[in-house]
Chain A
C-alpha cells in the first residue's frame, strides 16, 4: 500500500464536522489534492537535490494529545531567557496553556490558538486560512488536511506589538513515529508591527515528522519580523513552508536558522503585491554528520519599485548535504525592481556536498537584479594571518568558521535572539581555550 493511501486512511478515521462547514471542506479538498500530487520526487525540478523517500516510505500517524509531563523548567532552555516575551508552547503539536505565558496584550491584539480562533474569530479564519500557502504543493496540502492546532495572530491597524511573540514547538518521547502539522496565520493590518519567533525543538522526540505551514499577511506600511529556529532532533524530519504577501511600503524580514533534523526542507516565499515594499530573507544552515538541509526561497516581484535582499550562508561538516535554491521572479509590471541575493557555503567535511541554484526570472526591463554564489573553504590568507599572530591551526579554523557564520547572524535585529544563536554557534565551533 502506498504512503498516500495510508494518509487517506488516517484522514478518514479522524473525526470532523460536516462537509458543509468551511473547515472540513478545506481539509477534504486538501487531502484530495495531496492524493492527486503525491510526495514529490527528485524528478520534480523543485526537489531535484532532496529526496523525501525517508519521509514518504513511512506513515507518520498524527501525534496524540495526551497530557505532557514536561515542566516549565524543562523548556526554560529554549526561551532565550526572555520572560517578557509572549510565549506559546506546543508539546507534540498540542497547545499547553500551563507552560505558556502571556504578558499583557494590547486589548485589540489577538493571539489565539486554533481552537480559540474558531470560537472567537471564525470569520477571520475562514476568510484567510489557506488562501496564501501554495495549496498545490504536497506538504502544504498534507498540513491543511491534518492541521490540529496552531496560532492565529491578528494585529490591528496602527498597533505596534512591543514584545515579540515566541511560539515554541517541542516534542518528547511520545512523538516518536508521529507527524505534527502545526499551522501559523499572521495578519498585520495597515501600519501594524509584530515580531514572531518560531522555535522547533525536541526533548527526546526520536524520529518524528514536523510539517509546518505559516501564512503571513503584511498589510500596507506594516512590518513583520519572522524568525524561524529549527533545532529538531537528530532523527527528526522537518518540512516547513512560509508564504507571505506584502502590501505597499511594507517590510517583511524572515530569518531561518537551521541546525536540526536528519532531513529538512524550509521554504520561505514572499509575494510583493504593493509598491515600494521590502523583503529580506536571510538564513544560516550549519550541518554535521549525514544531515541534509534544503532551503528554498521564492520572491515574486509583482508590484513596481520593491526591493528584495537575501543572504544565506551554510557550513557543511561531516558528510552533510546542503541545498539552496533561491528564485527571484520579476513580473512585467514590476519595473524599478531592485533585487540582490547571495549564497555562500563553506565546505568543512571531507564528504560534505552542496547544491546551489540561484535563479532569476525577469520579465521587466527597468530592473537591477543580481545574485552571487560561492562555495569554498576557509581563506588561506586569513589563516596565514592568524598563524602569524600566533594562533594555532585548529583554533584558527574554528574562529574563522565561527566568524563566517556570525556574519549572517548580524542581520538579526532581535538582540536576545542574536546572542542566543551566536552562543549556540560558539559552543559548536569554538573549543574551550586550553588552560
Chain B
C-alpha cells in the first residue's frame, strides 16, 4: 500500500524544461552598481533609485535569518545574477509581437497569452525571469478603470500610485529578504482597482524562471481603493536545474475601506530531485494591510521549492476588518517548508481565520509557524486557527509553532492543531466500498484539503488538483 502512496506523491515535475532563448543579463554579483544598472535598464525615476539604494544599504547591515526550521547551505549572494531578460523583449504594441519562442513556452505551461484563445474571464501578466513579457485583456480592464500591468510599466505610467503605496505594507527594512528584494527587484505586477469597482476579470500573474543561476526578485503591489474588490491568482514554475536558485519576492496588498482582495497562489517552483539536488529557495514576504470594513484573504497551495520560507500576513488596521489564510503545503523527498501566517489585530472587532493543512511525505519537513497578535486596543478581536498535519511515510516530519499573543481581555481566540497519518481503517473502509487503495488515498487527502481547495478560484482548483496528483472531483465546493 505504501508503494501506492509513494507513486502518488512522486509525480514527475512536468514544467522542468528550459526555453532556449537569448537573454540580456547583468553579470553575477551584487554591488551598488548592480542596483544602479537595474534601475537604469528599467528607465526608473530618481526617487525609485534612491529607495533601492536605501534598501541596499540596509540589506548590507542585515544578516540572513536562520530561525526558520529549515536547513540549507550558505547562499553566495555574489554568485547570483540579479537581472536577466529575454533579449527580444522591447516595448511592444501588442502581444502579436511577442517572441514566438516565449509564447510557446507559456502554451507549454498551459497559459495562453493569445487573447483569442484566452481562458475566459482571466487576465494574465506573464513574467519571464526578470521582466514581464505581456499582459492580456488590458483593454477590457481599462474600460472599468482597472490598472493591471507590469511593475516597470506602472512606475513609468502611474508613478504617483506606486510612490504612494510602495513599501507602505512591507517597508524596505522589514527583513533580510525584503530588503534584498527592495534593492534589486526587477519586475512584477501592479494592480489598482478604482473606488467602488468590482474587477470584472480574475487577474493572474504567471512567473517563470528560465535562465540559470538567476534569482527572481519580483514585486507585486495590489491596491484596492474604497469599496473595490478583486481576485488575484499567481502561479510559478521553473526548469529543472541542479543548482539552487533564489526567489525572494515581495507582495504588498492594500485594501482601503470596504475593499476586498482575494489572493491565491499555486506555487510549483522546481523542488529539486529526490536527493534534494537543485530546486528553488523560496524566501517570500507577503503582507496585506486591511483598512476599515475591508477583507484580505490569502489562499496558497505550496507544492514546489526546495526550501519555502513564507508567511502571508494581514495587518488588521481598520475596525471590523477581516483577514483569512487558507493553506495547503506539501513537502516530499528532501523538501523543507516553514510557512504560516501572521494576523496582527489592531482595529476594533477585527476577525481572522487560519486554516492550514500540511502534508509531509518522503524525507520532507513541514513546519507551520503562525502568529496571532491582539494589540491592547483591538477590542472584540476574534481568531480561529486550525492547523492539521498529515504524515505519509516514517521519514518525514511535521511541526507546529503557533504564537498566540493577546493583550486585550475582550479578545476570543481558538487554536487547534492535530497530526495524524492516513488511517488504515479509513483505507479499509473505502476498499470495502469498492475503491482501490489509490482512489481511497486520493479521497482521504482530498477530504483533508477540502476546506482550503474550496477557497480557490475554479481554474486554480483544477491546477491544484493536478499538482497533488489526486482527483478532487466531487469534493471541490
| Docked complex Cα distance between A358 and B417 (Å) | 9
Minimum distance in angstroms from A315 CB to a CB of chain B: 11
Q: Are B411 and A360 in contact (CB under 8 A)?
A: no
Minimum distance in angstroms from B382 CB to a CB of chain A: 9
Contacts of B397 in A (CB 8 A): 361-363
- A354 sits at the interface (CB 8 A): yes
| With A367-B421, A375-B404, A377-B410: A358-B399 Cβ-Cβ less than 8 Å | no
Minimum distance in angstroms from A329 CB to a CB of chain B: 9
| Docked complex Cα distance between A369 and B376 (Å) | 32
Instruction: Find residues 308-353 in chain B having any chain A CB closer than 8 Å to their own CB.
Output: none
Q: Are A372 and B399 in contact (CB under 8 A)?
A: no
Contacts of A348 in B (CB 8 A): 409
Partner of B404, one of A45, A316, A355: A355
21 A-B residue pairs with Cβ-Cβ distance under 8 Å, sorted by A, are: A45-B67, A49-B405, A347-B409, A357-B404, A358-B415, A358-B417, A360-B398, A362-B389, A364-B391, A364-B394, A365-B394, A367-B419, A369-B418, A369-B420, A371-B400, A371-B416, A371-B417, A372-B417, A373-B415, A374-B413, A375-B412
Minimum distance in angstroms from A313 CB to a CB of chain B: 15
Contacts of A316 in B (CB 8 A): 409
Minimum distance in angstroms from B7 CB to a CB of chain A: 17
Q: Which of A354, A367, A375 has the largest count of B CB atoms less than 10 A from its CB?
A: A375
Minimum distance in angstroms from B357 CB to a CB of chain A: 14
| Docked complex Cα distance between A358 and B415 (Å) | 9
Minimum distance in angstroms from B56 CB to a CB of chain A: 26
Q: Are B412 and A357 in contact (CB under 8 A)?
A: no
Minimum distance in angstroms from B137 CB to a CB of chain A: 45
Q: Are A350 and B409 in contact (CB under 8 A)?
A: yes
Minimum distance in angstroms from B412 CB to a CB of chain A: 4
Minimum distance in angstroms from A33 CB to a CB of chain B: 24
Q: Are A335 and B407 in contact (CB under 8 A)?
A: no
Q: Are B391 and A362 in contact (CB under 8 A)?
A: yes
Minimum distance in angstroms from B372 CB to a CB of chain A: 9
| Docked complex Cα distance between A352 and B400 (Å) | 26
Q: Are B404 and A360 in contact (CB under 8 A)?
A: no
Q: Are A370 and B404 in contact (CB under 8 A)?
A: no
| Docked complex Cα distance between A264 and B339 (Å) | 32
Q: Find the B residue at minimum CB distance from A364.
A: B394
Minimum distance in angstroms from A431 CB to a CB of chain B: 20
Q: Are A358 and B413 in contact (CB under 8 A)?
A: no
Contacts of B251 in A (CB 8 A): none
Q: Are B413 and A375 in contact (CB under 8 A)?
A: yes
Q: Are A374 and B415 in contact (CB under 8 A)?
A: yes
Contacts of A353 in B (CB 8 A): 376, 405-407
Contacts of A371 in B (CB 8 A): 400, 415-417
Contacts of A351 in B (CB 8 A): 376
A residues at B contact (CB < 8 Å): 45, 49, 316, 332, 335, 345, 347-377
Q: Are B411 and A367 in contact (CB under 8 A)?
A: no
Q: Find the B residue at minimum CB distance from A349.
A: B409
| Docked complex Cα distance between A332 and B410 (Å) | 41
Q: Are B394 and A335 in contact (CB under 8 A)?
A: yes
Q: Are A357 and B399 in contact (CB under 8 A)?
A: no
| Docked complex Cα distance between A356 and B402 (Å) | 8
Contacts of A332 in B (CB 8 A): 394-395
| Docked complex Cα distance between A367 and B421 (Å) | 7
| Docked complex Cα distance between A367 and B397 (Å) | 11
| Docked complex Cα distance between A361 and B416 (Å) | 15
Partner of B409, one of A335, A352, A370: A352
Q: Are B409 and A360 in contact (CB under 8 A)?
A: no
Contacts of A366 in B (CB 8 A): 394, 421
| With A357-B404, A359-B401, A362-B389: A368-B420 Cβ-Cβ less than 8 Å | yes
Contacts of A365 in B (CB 8 A): 391-394, 396, 421
Q: Are B391 and A367 in contact (CB under 8 A)?
A: yes
| With A358-B402, A360-B399: A370-B418 Cβ-Cβ less than 8 Å | yes
| Docked complex Cα distance between A356 and B371 (Å) | 10
Q: Find the A residue at minimum CB distance from B413.
A: A375
- B473 sits at the interface (CB 8 A): no
Contacts of B402 in A (CB 8 A): 357-359, 373
Q: Are B406 and A347 in contact (CB under 8 A)?
A: yes
Contacts of A357 in B (CB 8 A): 401-404
Name B's interface SS.
strand
Contacts of B405 in A (CB 8 A): 49, 353-355
Q: Find the A residue at minimum CB distance from B381.
A: A375
Q: Are B391 and A370 in contact (CB under 8 A)?
A: no
Q: Are A367 and B420 in contact (CB under 8 A)?
A: yes
Minimum distance in angstroms from A151 CB to a CB of chain B: 37
| Docked complex Cα distance between A358 and B400 (Å) | 8
| Docked complex Cα distance between A362 and B389 (Å) | 10
Minimum distance in angstroms from A28 CB to a CB of chain B: 33
Contacts of B393 in A (CB 8 A): 365
Q: Are A347 and B411 in contact (CB under 8 A)?
A: yes
Contacts of B412 in A (CB 8 A): 374-377
Minimum distance in angstroms from B286 CB to a CB of chain A: 23
Contacts of B67 in A (CB 8 A): 45
Q: Find the B residue at minimum CB distance from A329.
A: B399
Q: Find the A residue at minimum CB distance from B398.
A: A362
- B414 sits at the interface (CB 8 A): yes
Known: A45-B67, A369-B418, A372-B414. 7 other contacts (CB 8 A): A349-B409, A354-B406, A358-B402, A365-B394, A370-B419, A372-B416, A375-B406
Minimum distance in angstroms from B158 CB to a CB of chain A: 42
Instruction: Find residues 120-177 in chain B having any chain A CB closer than 8 Å to their own CB.
Output: none
| Docked complex Cα distance between A352 and B410 (Å) | 10
| Docked complex Cα distance between A359 and B399 (Å) | 7
Q: Are A370 and B398 in contact (CB under 8 A)?
A: no
Minimum distance in angstroms from A325 CB to a CB of chain B: 10
| Docked complex Cα distance between A368 and B420 (Å) | 5
| Docked complex Cα distance between A346 and B350 (Å) | 19
Contacts of A370 in B (CB 8 A): 416-419
| Docked complex Cα distance between A402 and B352 (Å) | 30
Partner of B415, one of A349, A354, A362, A372: A372
Q: Are A373 and B413 in contact (CB under 8 A)?
A: yes
Partner of B399, one of A45, A361, A373: A361
Q: Find the B residue at minimum CB distance from A370.
A: B418
| Docked complex Cα distance between A345 and B389 (Å) | 25
Q: Find the B residue at minimum CB distance from A346.
A: B409
Q: Find the A residue at minimum CB distance from B67.
A: A45
- The 3 lowest CB-CB distance pairs between A and B, nearest first, are A347-B409, A365-B391, A360-B400
Minimum distance in angstroms from A314 CB to a CB of chain B: 11
Contacts of A364 in B (CB 8 A): 391, 394
| Docked complex Cα distance between A359 and B407 (Å) | 21
Q: Find the B residue at minimum CB distance from A374.
A: B414
Minimum distance in angstroms from B365 CB to a CB of chain A: 9
Q: Are B420 and A360 in contact (CB under 8 A)?
A: no
| Docked complex Cα distance between A332 and B337 (Å) | 19
Contacts of B392 in A (CB 8 A): 365
Minimum distance in angstroms from A360 CB to a CB of chain B: 4
Minimum distance in angstroms from B74 CB to a CB of chain A: 22
| Docked complex Cα distance between A354 and B302 (Å) | 32
Partner of B413, one of A335, A363, A376: A376
Q: Are B417 and A360 in contact (CB under 8 A)?
A: yes
Minimum distance in angstroms from B418 CB to a CB of chain A: 4
| Docked complex Cα distance between A45 and B401 (Å) | 11
| Docked complex Cα distance between A357 and B394 (Å) | 26
Q: Find the B residue at minimum CB distance from A376.
A: B412
| Docked complex Cα distance between A354 and B407 (Å) | 6
| Docked complex Cα distance between A360 and B418 (Å) | 9
Instruction: Find residues 416-474 in chain B having any chain A CB closer than 8 Å to their own CB.
Output: 416-421
Contacts of B404 in A (CB 8 A): 354-357, 373, 375
Contacts of B409 in A (CB 8 A): 316, 347-350, 352, 377
Q: Are B419 and A369 in contact (CB under 8 A)?
A: yes
Minimum distance in angstroms from A294 CB to a CB of chain B: 13
| Docked complex Cα distance between A365 and B399 (Å) | 12
The contact string, 1 if C-beta is below 8 Å from chain A, for chain B 53-70, is 000000000000001000
| Docked complex Cα distance between A374 and B397 (Å) | 25
